[in-house]
Amino acid sequence: MSSGDTTVFEGLTFASHPLGFTAARELFLPRLEAGLIEAAAGEGTLFSAARYHLETGGKRIRALLPPLLAHNLGANPSQLDEALELGLAFELIHNGTLVHDDLQDGDSQRRGKPTVWAHYGMQQAVNVGTAMLLLGLSRVLSTRVGGRIIADVNLAILRIVEGQALEFELQESTSPTVAQWERMSAGKTGALFGACLLGGTRVAQGGDRACDAAWQFGLELGIFFQIQDDLLDLVGNKGRDAVATDIAEGKISWPVAWATQNADPERAARLLSIVKTRRADTTPELVSEALAILHASGAIAACIDNVRTQAHALLGSPWAALMPGLVERVVEPVRHVLSDS
């Protein structure tokens, strides 16, 4: 949808007093937090490990999106309840992928606590992550709109797993591309944001066109999340130095993919060989050399350009206006880069 096309909203009513993101968080978060722990009620290690993971917290953005959007699309109280249910479901699904993620990346700590695999072992981490996805799907199915959105939600989870698989492929590729990076990000982060906004729209009785457009906006928001994260790792946040941990960790970030495609072959090969050096052997000198290649090749500038374009498109979308404060908050960490132009 072009940002000017508001005909997708035809037939929808808008809340006379739209909620902002911060107000929605204050309003809905206590209920969502309690609901999450309750959603993982059950006997045995599977459920206690799921609750253990959920208690490590998180920003709960995915849980907040459906009720925020549904409210501002004029949902009545019972529709808002459904939206909260969907929010719980999406947050469970997101956290299921995190449990698998921590295992796959070998991360043994999350928010200062041992991760599920570190605490309960690899075997149970596989079970717990999978179970949380299924609990989320089951929660979606328990809502009135469940039957209409379940195929999209299921597809979103498949896209997350595909994105995850593609990330490992990228790390082993000798010629990663920006297109692959985008497919990976659209899957890993975009698809579930898409499902969150589609769910919130469907609950408020949005039609197919509105739902498609909501999904698309969520997808773009998710991709932006990723590219901004990649950029911040290299250029630093306000008051924070660039740390370039991605280079040490062997991550194929957007700028690395861009440089591999666009820098001269010798430099590109050198960059890739530094990125692929084992973390323990990646000295600060190697990181500096990689950063220098990224700057000199124009990869950082291209990334900043891309971030600017995407940020302005997101901020100008009617979906941003429907969720006041959300996109502003997402864009905040790169605001200094936007205003440099």
Minimum distance from residue 203 beta carbon to a second copy (Å) = 18
Minimum distance from residue 305 beta carbon to a second copy (Å) = 29
For a second copy, the closer of residues 99 and 307 by Cβ is 99
For a second copy, the closer of residues 151 and 280 by Cβ is 151
For a second copy, the closer of residues 17 and 278 by Cβ is 278
- Burial annotation 223-233 (CB, 10 A radius, 16+ → b, else e): bbbbbbbbbbb
**Cα–Cα distance between 122 and 129 in angstroms, integer?**
11
For a second copy, the closer of residues 123 and 175 by Cβ is 123
Strand partners, 110: 113
Minimum distance from residue 61 beta carbon to a second copy (Å) = 23
Strands of the chain (E only): list them: 109-110, 113-114
For a second copy, the closer of residues 143 and 253 by Cβ is 143
Minimum distance from residue 200 beta carbon to a second copy (Å) = 21
Residues at the interface with a second copy (CB under 8 A): 44-46, 100, 103-104, 121-124, 126-131, 133-135, 137-138, 141, 147, 150-151, 154-155, 157-158, 161-162, 164-166, 168-169
For a second copy, the closer of residues 71 and 202 by Cβ is 202
The CA-CA-CA angle for residues 111, 113, 115, to 5°, reads 95
Contact 284, 312 (CB under 8 A): no
Minimum distance from residue 92 beta carbon to a second copy (Å) = 12
Whose tokens are 């995190």? That residue is 98
Going from the C-alpha of 336 to that of each of 126, 232, 239, 301, 331, the distances in angstroms are: 40, 11, 11, 14, 10
Strand partners, 210: none
Minimum distance from residue 319 beta carbon to a second copy (Å) = 27
Rounded to 5, what percent of the chain is helix, strand, coil?
A: 75, 0, 25
For 312-328, give the DSSP string: HHHHTSHHHHHSTTHHH
Minimum distance from residue 134 beta carbon to a second copy (Å) = 4
Number of residues in the chain: 341
- Side-chain-facing half-sphere of 216: CA atoms under 13 Å: 14
For a second copy, the closer of residues 137 and 232 by Cβ is 137
For 186-221, give the DSSP string: IIIIIHHHHHHHHHHHHHTT--HHHHHHHHHHHHHH
Task: Centre a 10 Å sphere on the Cβ of residue 238 and count the other Cβ atoms it contains.
Answer: 11
For a second copy, the closer of residues 9 and 120 by Cβ is 120
Minimum distance from residue 235 beta carbon to a second copy (Å) = 29
